[in-house]
A and B are shown apart, each in its own frame.
Chain A
Amino acid sequence: MTGQETLKAGLRGAGLPIQVGPFVVRLRSRLDRIERSVALFYDRQLLPADGTPFADFHITLARSSGLHAVWRPQARFFLDGRSPFRPLPLAHAYPLFEWGLNWCIAQHAHDFLMIHAAVLERDGQALVMPGEPGAGKSTLTAALALSGWRLLSDEFALLSLETGRLVALPRPVSLKNAAIDLIRERYPQAIIGPSSYDTSKGTVAHLKPPDPSIERMDEQARPAWLVFPRFAVGGRDHLEPLAPAEALQRLVGSSFNYSVVGAAGFEAAADLIEQSACLNLEYADLDATLGLLNGLPEGGA
């Protein structure tokens, strides 16, 4: 069988095992757009179906059944036979898979402090960027990942409670609206999938993680910089130091499971702050900001 046939057979049969950072996802779907997206984005992460007996998450994406599905086809997400969310239009099946996988990880991976943040690495040192939606985090992340930084994660930082290091969760970077064309024009080598229009986040398209991100996904990174970006139209691109106490508060505020992991989470967050230079970033111009981040002095705090 060719790779494409194996992929199709896996998705339609007992499930296609995919290594996503520290997790194995076994994905089943008969939907063409899931098959195309998986072939495009996850081709380097497929595991042998027979040699992978254990999976962390058994996920199915299926067409909604029911009469109204005839004129308004929808896709539904299942974790092991249970559907935790509403269906979405069939055209959004792939973003639904990515969002659903986020949910699975956030619900179950309490061996990490999970933070809504991008993580990139340079020379073994990690840049952690928590950010509210709209802070321009994904655009920055994509630009950094396409200009020499290794992408660990686009919006889901995994801080190991055991090692205190950042664990990679390489997934396609979700680009929204104007950022899609911006990245496409600046980085002709970027592989960007088809756009999904009118999602809850506007138009969404995904950037395939560059090869080093996948090849080195087992390598953890030591935290060195904690940067809180804020996109400000017409603003002045600059970094300014942030008091550790405030940085800790904001880091914890961006965590999905701080309240669950309790004291271990506090220790891990405090250690991260201690090892990192904590900075606020105001950014308006991508080139200027990339210059600032590339010029960060080594070694963190």
Chain B
Amino acid sequence: MTRPALAQMLATLREPAGVSERSPADWDLLVRVARVASLEGRLQALIEDAGALPDVPPAPRRHLHAARVLADRQHVMVRWEVARIHEALAPEQIPVMLLKGAAYVMAGLPCARGRQFSDVDIMVPKAQIQQAEQHLFVQGWVCEGYDAYDQRYYRQWMHELPPLTHMRRKSVLDVHHTILPPTARLHPDPALLWQAALPLEGYPGVYIPAPVDMVLHSATHLFHDGELENGLRDLADLDALLRHFANEDPAFWERLTARAFEMDLARPLFYALRYGHEFLQTPVPDSVIRALAPARPALPLLALMDALFRRGLKPHHWSCDGGLSGVARWLLYVRSHYLRMPLHLLVPHLLRKAIKEHRKGKRERPDA
């Protein structure tokens, strides 16, 4: 009898040593779900670390292995990209902070092992973002495929440049100047991030966020701003970060909650801990739950968010979908935009996007 896909996925993430209990039919579903959730490489690393790879039958093991090969290759490429970014910006005295995947890999954090990702995200101070764009341009990063409206949308309203693509390597680079759009409901101060950032050894001028900020940024990205395409992967990142940092520093939890309030990011942290615990049994001390009580949404809202996130965080695979999954994803998409911009800016933007998509669809139809 095949167990539900999501339950298997979560059980494997929590207890990779238990894979010997999986039947071939379980594996059939597990590999497919892991594939759409971008978690194949991560599963391989977890199972390998638990010494349980020999318990995986050869057919599914091949897929996990292949994803790990791909992830390792992506990490090599990220290291290369970071070195090139350093080369472009360090001589100009423009400090660079690595975010998300690039930071996990360069800092050698346990959650990086086997993690699959594509783009590199960095932050530079707002005052120097234009200068940074120019120097990156000289080294081959260009902004292509965005029309005048997109360009203006990014530059005027967003917290980042339109994505840059390297002319030869085709790698994509997102350059931010803060972690949420200036129009967003929450207002974390990027200056605080810079003050606490840690220098990356071997790359003078390149920084990684302090542990507490790394967690807060990941939580904010997932629960306040993000698309949930890789929601479970990002939640697994958070779980691994929290376990690792709490283990390294006994005062970590206390620092984390204090910092969350200081950065105006207590609500996203509340969600991260709530769903991290629910999905992956992230060990959250009671004192932290008490400290975050002021950030807890009122009951009716919390019930709604539970209903949305419990669906939205599942892998986007038919085997995990219920009747309301589509609606939940759509509402979360609307929410992420609503949190990003006030309505008088948002409505014209979404309307314009919809018309553009519609026209594009017409153009792409072979018979049009």
Contacts and interface: CB of A to CB of B under 8 A. Distances in A.
A108 B63 contact: yes
Interface string B1-37: 0000000000000000000000111011000100110
Given A56-B59, A108-B63, A111-B62, A262 B73 contact: yes
Contacts of B23: 53
B350 interface: no
A259 B318 CA distance: 32
State the main secondary structure of chain A at its contact with B.
loop
Contacts of B69: 110-111, 260-261
A259 B73 contact: yes
Contacts of B62: 109, 111
A58 B27 CA distance: 13
Interface string A81-95: 110000000000000
A10 B76 CA distance: 43
Given A54-B59, A80-B35, A260-B69, 12 more contacts: A24-B59, A53-B25, A54-B60, A56-B63, A72-B367, A80-B36, A109-B62, A111-B62, A111-B65, A111-B69, A260-B70, A261-B73
B54 interface: no
B28 A55 contact: yes
Nearest to A82: B36
A56 B63 CA distance: 8
Contacts of A259: 73
Contacts of B304: none
A80 B32 contact: yes
Given A68-B365, A81-B318, A109-B66, A54 B27 contact: yes
A269 to B, nearest CB: 16
A202 to B, nearest CB: 18
Given A54-B25, A68-B367, A72-B367, A81 B65 contact: no
Interface string B298-314: 00000000000000000
Interchain residue pairs A-B with the least CB separation, the first 9: A110-B66, A53-B24, A53-B25, A110-B69, A54-B24, A54-B28, A54-B59, A260-B73, A80-B32
A260 B116 CA distance: 13
B317 interface: yes
Nearest to B76: A262
B57 A54 contact: yes
From A54, A58, A260, residue with most partner B Cβ within 10 Å: A54
Interface in A185-244: none
A168 B53 CA distance: 26
A260 B75 CA distance: 11
Nearest to B74: A260
Interface string B314-332: 0001100000000000000
A55 B24 CA distance: 9
Interface of A: 24, 53-56, 58, 68, 72, 80-82, 108-111, 259-262
A114 to B, nearest CB: 11
A81 B318 CA distance: 8
Contacts of A262: 73, 76
B24 to A, nearest CB: 4
A116 B202 CA distance: 40
From B69, B70, B73, B365, residue with most partner A Cβ within 10 Å: B69
B356 to A, nearest CB: 20
7 contacts: A54-B28, A54-B57, A56-B59, A72-B367, A80-B32, A110-B70, A111-B69
B35 to A, nearest CB: 7
Nearest to B321: A81
B170 to A, nearest CB: 12
B22 to A, nearest CB: 10
Contacts of A58: 32
Nearest to B318: A81
A82 B366 CA distance: 21
Contacts of B59: 24, 54, 56
B317 A80 contact: yes
Interface string B70-86: 10010010000000000
A177 B238 CA distance: 55
Nearest to A68: B367
Contacts of A108: 63, 66
A259 B69 CA distance: 11
A53 B31 CA distance: 13
Nearest to B59: A54
Nearest to B28: A54
Contact of B28 (A53, A72, A110, A260): A53
Contacts of B32: 58, 80
A266 to B, nearest CB: 13
A260 B367 CA distance: 38
A53 B63 CA distance: 16
A215 to B, nearest CB: 22
B158 to A, nearest CB: 28
Contacts of B70: 110, 260
Given A53-B23, A54-B60, A68-B367, A81 B317 contact: yes
B229 to A, nearest CB: 12
A256 B187 CA distance: 46
A100 B367 CA distance: 23
A232 B331 CA distance: 61
A192 to B, nearest CB: 29
Contacts of A109: 62, 66
Contacts of B317: 80-81
Nearest to A22: B62
Nearest to A264: B69
A108 B317 CA distance: 18
